[in-house]
Amino acid sequence: MSEKGISGILNINKPAGITSHDVVNQVRGLIGIRKVGHAGTLDPMATGVLLICIGQATRLAEYLMKGQKVYRATVLFGQTTDTYDADGEIVFEVDPSILTEGAVNQAFLSFVGRVCQVPPPFSAIKKGGIPLYK
C-alpha cells in the first residue's frame, strides 16, 4: 500500500482499558501505513469517540480538537478516590442519603457551560512528556 494513497478520518468508539495510542497502533497494523494519529486523547478507562487521522488528514487534527465536546458520566455519590474515578482507592466516604436534590442540582450546574477543570492526578495529560497515569 502506498503511504500517499490513503487519507481520511476514522470515528472510533474507543473501549475502556486501552490507550488512544493503542488504537493508533491497531489502525497502523490494519492499514499498513505509519502516518496515523489521533485528535485528542482519552484516558485509558474512558470510552467514547476518538478521531483517528490518516495520511494527509493528520494535518487536520489540531482543528478537530478545537471543536465542541460533550461528556456523559455515571456518578456514584458518597465516595472520593485518589484518582477521581472508579478505579482508584477510596480515600473518603460519606452516607449519600444526606444529600438533598437541591444540593445535587446545584453541584451539576457548576458543570454547565465552559468549565476550567483541574485534571485528575492519573489522567492522560502529559507532564514532562509523560502521561500522568504512568
Catalytic center residues: 43
Q: What phi and psi, each to the nearest 5 degrees, are found at residue 49? A: -70, 125
Taking Cα atoms as reference points, which of 69, 72, 68, 28 lies closest to residue 52?
A: 28
Please identify which residue in the block is written with the cell numbers 442519603. 97
Please name the residues in contact with 32: beta carbons below 8 A apart, sequence gap of 6 or more: 1
